[in-house]
Amino acid sequence: MLQSLITHSTTQKISLLESNFWITLLTSSPSFKMPQRSPEFSGSVKLKYVKLGYQYLVNHFLTFLLVPVIAGILLELIRLGPDEIATLWKSLQFDFIQILCSSYLIIFISTLYFVSRPRPVYLVDYACYKPPVTCRVPFSCFMEHSRLILSTEPKSVEFQMRILERSGLGEETCLPPAIHYIPPAPSMEAARKEAEMVIFSAVDTLFKKTGLEAKDVDILIVNCSLFSPTPSLTAMVINKYKMRGDIKSFNLSGMGCSAGMISINLARDLLQSYPNSIAVVVSTEIITPNYYQGKERSMLLPNCLFRMGGAAIFLSNRRSDSIRAKYRLLHVVRTHKGADDKAYRCVFEEEDPEGKSGISLSKDLMAIAGEALKSNITTIGPLVLPASEQLLFLISLMGRKFFNPKWKPYIPDFKQAFDHFCIHAGGRAVIDELQKNLQLSAEHVEASRMTLHRFGNTSSSSLWYELSYIEAKGRMRKGNRVWQIAFGSGFKCNSAVWKCIKSIEIPTDGPWSDCIDRYPVDIPEVVKL
């Protein structure tokens, strides 16, 4: 009897510790840390202006170098006068063969440049799926369902409530119809119906907005991580819209929340190979077959965070589409940590001891995400950062290598490279940590926070809801650069850089059309249920 009581008490303590760990993991800053600049440097007004002057000097170094040279040449020409200039020109002897060879060389180099340079890839437009109000899951509804489904597991119900209170989600997020049943009724038919509802609605909206016809689509890519039926989702789309028989279709699965950036990368590579082509990318996650009905806490987390969502994106390399396109794709950077066993298993689909399948999140998730992010930043930095930031980073790197390894590495100011940031709305903690370590303002991460609040974690499509939020607020201007960052199972960190090529008017439709005036909203640390 005594042994039984001791065992029961120990089990309760372990359960409580595990619960507190997961709540801390999702609602506070992750465990990984990136070095910070000294507060004295950033807080000093004088040094602030010194830094601004340094940035201006380094970033415009060539201009400062060329202006005196050009001015000197102009002054010399003015001093010589027109007669001496004409005499000097006549004194030059030009051989016909030399002129001909020089002309051919210039033509050859110009042709080689225009043929070998990559084709520009344009984002003409995109559309996000907006779930119907009948699919909404207020906190009270979610918790009531949890109590009924897990009636014999009050601690698991309490755990979900504590996660939901601190999640950053709002009252208007949505789950598919099959999950509204008590108990949930996932099936292949229900999953297909959800896929049709989300994907067809997004594609219909895209076709209507752009005037694009199904027969004009040359490349079709659909990414959905956890639902991969036969025939594929791409086949489902082709059948629905009666697309051409020679269409190049690709179905990506199992790649997690960062699969949207992988699809963009694949579309870019294909558009480099096929001139005058149009690609449609569909990013979504089907919730129905993956709603966990067990009691393992590491597998209950996705139930609290993931919600319905999807997006359809129209990409093109046709010159005629550049006139109406919104953005031009500049870079896609992909980082994969799958060679490490912990990284490979940190987001893992498996069965619990009772045979119920779900997605298990490892306790190492945040540390692994931090390493993936650092690798991605290291790769993308030289591609986008101005010369002033790269020079400071190089000086810091050389100083640590040759003088003092304990020097804090310089973290570049990415606000010098980007005007807008779309951080995957995977959870409040990730957004908090990226904001702190990249030294972003509240406005820079506003789109991510509000997307998490209004739509929840919509997996790979969340980045497009965030971009739509920025547009709905009227903040996107011609020349602005956008950085999209996403994390996914495997473990991956993928990012894309877009440049706005025209000022975008505030849209009258879209997922934010009926609520943008209410945002941004204040999101408390804890919402008491």
**Phi-psi label, residue 375: left if phi above 0, alpha if psi -120 to 50, beta otherwise:** alpha
**Residues whose CB is less than 8 angstroms from the CB of residue 482 and which lie 6 or more positions away in sequence, other chains included:** 327, 418, 419, 420, 421, 422, 467, 470, 497, 498, 499, 500
DSSP 358-423: EEEE-TTHHHHHHHHHHHHHHHHHHHHS-HHHHHHHHHHHHHHHHT-TTSPPP---GGGT-SEEEE
Pairing outcome for strands 219-223 and 248-252: parallel
Tell me how far CA of residue 385 lies from CA of 51, 416, 445, in angstroms.
15, 7, 20
The residues that are catalytic are 257, 336, 420, 424, 453, 457
Q: If you write DSSP's letter for every residue of 472-518 in order, what string do you get?
A: HTT---TT-EEEEEEEETTTEEEEEEEEE-SPPPPPSSSTTTTTGGG
List own/partner pairs for 263-266 with CB under 8 A and 24 or more apart.
263/221, 263/222, 263/223, 263/460, 264/313, 264/315, 264/329, 264/332, 264/496, 265/332, 265/334, 265/494, 265/496, 266/221
User: Cβ atoms within 10 A of the Cβ of 37, count?
Assistant: 12
Q: How far does CA 451 lie from the centroid of its chain?
A: 12
Task: For residues 307 and 136, give the distance between their C-alpha atoms in angstroms, rounded to a whole number.
Answer: 10
Number of other CB atoms surrounding residue 519 within 10 Å: 17
Extract the tokens encoding 227.
């639902």
**Kind of pairing, strands 327-336 and 347-351?**
unpaired
